[in-house]
Structure 1
Amino acid sequence: MEFLYNLEDIDATARNVLDNLDCKTLILYGEMGVGKTTFISALLRAMDSTDEATSPTFSIVNEYHIPNDKVFHFDFYRIESVEEAFNFGIEDYLNSTHWIFIEWPDRVKELIPENAQAISITSIDNNKRSLKLTIENKSLTKNMAMTDTKI
């Protein structure tokens, strides 16, 4: 599923993405500075959180509160190995029933749950983004194929 959005419409896009999720684990792809953390902030607002997402590049994980649940936001940009993720207990987070948002998932790809949904964000210009939502499970061929949804 693809969403094209202007940055001023990011909240509506986040609500639409939430409506199309099949699981609580999201992995986010995109170049540095494309707006992954900004989109996570929009997701938090759509989930009725009063927390503002900040990049957990140095802390590795940030915790946010939403009504009746939590969101764990990981940024693995600075991680050197999967062993580092095990050292801070990644398996406990991944085995929880809470929301998991992961930036730079390619650094720990062997740990990503099979049913995770992927969000790929690309910049079209300074104010416009393309967001593609897919299912990561390699055994599934389901690729939600709705294109050019304009919000």
Structure 2
Amino acid sequence: MKKIVSNEEQMLSLAAEYSKNLQTNKIIFLHGDLGSGKTTFVKGVLKALGYKGNVKSPTYTLVESYEFKDFSIYHFDLYRISDPEELEWIGIRDYFNEKSICFIEWPDKGKDFLPKASSNIYIKHLAEKREVEIS
């Protein structure tokens, strides 16, 4: 599915629509340049699922955790890692389980340390708009 979004509100709405079919034990890779809207997409999913707190980019923390009643969402940003082995040091495999949903920005930096994605989301800049492709 491809969709053109013109603003943050439309990105949040698209993410909310995506969240309707989201299940646990899923790994979603987010692809896109800096500032393309990857974190905004995750924010839209979280808000649609009822999360009320602040949603921030995990650029400096590597991972942000969001707890729900029956599951957790983990949002990773691998942009700053210099060696994929760093993922082993943080115990990344422990995050991938039947009660979690993992969103991973910059998955190419994780190379052989990440499992196969359940879904890929590609976000491209188109002047003032974004093209979002979900596969």
Fold shared per TM-score above 0.5: yes
Letter in 1 for 2:88: F
Partner in structure 2 of residue 132 of structure 1: 133
How far does residue 17 in structure 1 lie from its aligned partner after superposition? 1.9
Evaluate the alpha carbon distance shift between residue 125 and residue 67 of structure 1 in structure 2; reply closer, same or farther with a 3 A threshold.
farther
Distance 1:109 1:97 in 2: 24
- TM-score for both structures, normalised by structure 1: 0.78
Evaluate the alpha carbon distance shift between residue 131 and residue 28 of structure 1 in structure 2; reply closer, same or farther with a 3 A threshold.
same
Partner in structure 2 of residue 121 of structure 1: 123
Unpaired runs of 5+ residues, structure 1, are 135-151
How far does residue 115 in structure 1 lie from its aligned partner after superposition? 4.4
Distance 2:124 2:26 in 1: 22
Give the alignment's Cα RMSD to 1 decimal.
1.9
Distance 1:4 1:104 in 2: 21
Distance 2:61 2:48 in 1: 24
Q: Secondary structure at the match of 2:80?
A: coil
Q: Secondary structure at the match of 1:82?
A: coil
Distance 2:18 2:111 in 1: 22
Is 1:3 equivalent to 2:3 in the alignment? yes
Distance 1:49 1:100 in 2: 15
Between the aligned residues of both structures, percent identity stands at 35
- TM-score for both structures, normalised by structure 2: 0.87
Q: Which has the larger radius of gyration?
A: 1
Evaluate the alpha carbon distance shift between residue 57 and residue 11 of structure 1 in structure 2; reply closer, same or farther with a 3 A threshold.
closer
How far does residue 19 in structure 1 lie from its aligned partner after superposition? 3.6
Aligned length: 133
